[in-house]
Amino acid sequence: MQLEKSIEDIKLENEAMINDINKKNQEAMSKLNQSLIKVTQDYENLRHFETKKEEMERDLAETKEALELLKKQHVEKMNEMERIKIQDTEKLRKDMLFKIKETKATLLSLNDE
């Protein structure tokens, strides 16, 4: 009888220990699952960030290329305008010189008469 009671007490203690271990395991598993969910979310956020970063870097590179092209076109246009200005100035100078000679000739012919 005493032995049966001792065996029964040991069984109850073992069951209590097993229940306690199971409870602790469940709590640990729950914490691990929460950690896994957080790590998974962080990973997804990081992947999204990396994708956005790559997209923005591509956009930046394209914008820089477009800016360089616009700068080059602007310089070419300014050079063309400067060339036209020089040509127009030279033409104006020649026209003025011609007019001066023509006027001089007219005045000289009037003086001769």
15-53: pLDDT as tens digits: 999 999 999 999 999 999 999 999 999 999 999 999 999
Residues 72/77/83/87 CA torsion (nearest 10 deg): 170
Write down the H helix ranges in 1-113. Answer: 2-112
When the pLDDT of each residue in the chain is averaged and rounded to a whole number, the result is 94
**0.85 exceeded by pTM:** no
pLDDT band for position 81 (50/70/90)?
very high
